[in-house]
Amino acid sequence: MANTEATAKRWMQWLLEREEIPFRASLAPYFANPTFSRLCDCGCNSFDLAMTEKDLPLLCAPGERGGMFFELDYELTEDRQLEFLFFVDKAGRLTGVDIEVSGNNFPVPESPQIGKLTNVRQSRGCAP
Ligand SMILES: [Zn+2]
């Protein structure tokens, strides 16, 4: 599906409802009034945020460098999976979520039929 701010906001709402995200309450302040720095147009639905307000909750302990700290995968049809990869900056703030199908080898479908959760991965020191 075309990657617009409206698309990103739909995914944000969906993510906030996922009980399998233990830190979803900490995502709410980022997603309530997001400032986007990038909406990828390769066919994925990834978005980056440009939000550095000091009162935003930290999702990881501050470190040397940021990066991916959390992944959720769901089954789609035809042996494909929908993947959500969460990233932080070195201060521990959310910088974006990559939303892609099977390692970004396929575009995100227009109306994905999201199946069961197949994988949750979390880095140490993150997402308490
Ligand atoms: Zn992309």
Confidence category of residue 57, pLDDT binned at 50, 70, 90 = very high
DSSP β-bridge partners for residue 81: 75
Taking the domains of the chain in order of start, what are their residue ranges?
Answer: 5-122
The alpha carbon of 101 and the centre of ligand 1 are apart by a number of angstroms equal to 10
Determine the distance separating the centroid of ligand 1 and the alpha carbon of 44, expressed in angstroms.
4
Q: pLDDT tens digits for 17-45? A: 999 999 999 999 999 999 999 999 999 99
C-alpha 45 to ligand 1 mean position (Å): 6
Taking the centre of ligand 1 as the mean of its atom positions, its distance from the CA of residue 104, in whole angstroms, is 7
DSSP 48-116: EE----TTSPPSB---S--EEEEEEEEE-STT-EEEEEEEE-TTS-EEEEEEEETTTTBPPPSS-----
Question: How far away, in angstroms, is 46 Cα from ligand 1 center?
Answer: 6
Residue with tokens 């900490």: 26
Round to whole Å and give the CA distance between 40 and 57: 25
**pLDDT tens-place string over residues 70-124:** 999 999 987 999 999 999 999 999 999 999 999 999 999 988 999 999 999 998 8
Distance 28 CA to ligand 1 centre (A): 23
Q: pTM here?
A: 0.95
pLDDT band at 128 (very low <50, low <70, confident <90, very high): low
